[in-house]
């Protein structure tokens, strides 16, 4: 009888040890995934919501903290008025103050930067962000929407202003064309098509 009890105790102990080991082996990947997503920041500027659509797709796929850039003094709603203001800001080098504040940016090691192409350049508010926050030592990943004219000098400016950061290959896609009254274009079936392209890009730069 004692032998049977001893065998039962040995089997039970072995089972518990194996179970604990199995749980221990399963926990680290989950903890690592949570830690990884907590270190991702997705900052975007979006006037017609196309860049916002890309930011939301990225956030859905990899998690992280999603932040929209807002100005202390918003741009005018009128298209011609905003074009004139941005032209002036680019010519004078004026950087509009941001209303958006990001606390503890040092905790993020990967920063996605999303923006439209304005005047074939990086929008002034995104320049404000890159001047205000130190991204040195971080991985910086730009993404862009435009009216069909490409990124202009915007990706190069991101690299120039991201001192001592590791800037990865960016993503760019055609969105709306506000000049012609075409606003949010990345929606419905088009959004699903774009999502597939975003996923392919995220895999190519090895963040997914």
Contact 43, 183 (CB under 8 A): no
Neighbours of 163 (CB within 10 A): 10
Count of structural domains, the chain: 1
- Which is nearest to 50 in space by CA: 203, 201, 182, 197? 182
In this structure, is residue 78 part of a structural domain? Answer: yes
- Whichever domain contains 106, its CATH number is 3.40.50.360
In this structure, is residue 21 part of a structural domain? Answer: no
pLDDT per residue as tens digits for the range 98-133: 999 999 999 999 999 999 999 999 999 999 999 999
In this structure, is residue 4 part of a structural domain? Answer: no
* Domain extent for 169: 26-204
In this structure, is residue 79 part of a structural domain? Answer: yes
In this structure, is residue 70 part of a structural domain? Answer: yes
In this structure, is residue 172 part of a structural domain? Answer: yes
pLDDT per residue as tens digits for the range 173-208: 999 999 999 999 999 999 999 999 999 999 999 999
């Amino acid at each position: 009888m004692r032998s049977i009890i001893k065998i039962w105790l040995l089997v039970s102990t072995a089972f518990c040890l194996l179970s604990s080991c199995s749980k221990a082996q399963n926990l680290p990947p989950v903890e690592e995934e949570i830690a990884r997503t907590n270190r991702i920041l997705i900052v975007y500027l979006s006037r017609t919501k196309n860049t916002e659509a890309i930011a939301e797709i990225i956030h859905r796929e990899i998690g992280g903290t999603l932040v929209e850039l807002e100005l202390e003094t918003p741009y005018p709603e009128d298209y011609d008025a905003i074009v004139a203001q941005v032209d002036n800001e680019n010519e004078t080098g004026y950087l509009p103050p941001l209303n958006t504040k990001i606390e503890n940016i040092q905790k993020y090691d990967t920063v996605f930067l999303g923006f439209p192409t304005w005047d074939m350049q990086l929008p002034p508010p995104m320049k404000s962000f890159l001047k205000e926050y130190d991204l040195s030592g971080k991985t910086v990943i730009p993404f862009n929407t435009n009216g069909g004219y490409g990124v202009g000098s915007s990706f190069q400016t991101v690299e120039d202003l991201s001192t001592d950061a590791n800037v990865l290959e960016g993503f760019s896609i055609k969105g709306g064309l506000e000049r012609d009254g075409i606003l949010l274009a990345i929606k419905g079936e088009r959004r699903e098509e774009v999502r597939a392209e975003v996923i392919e890009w995220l895999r190519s730069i090895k963040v997914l």
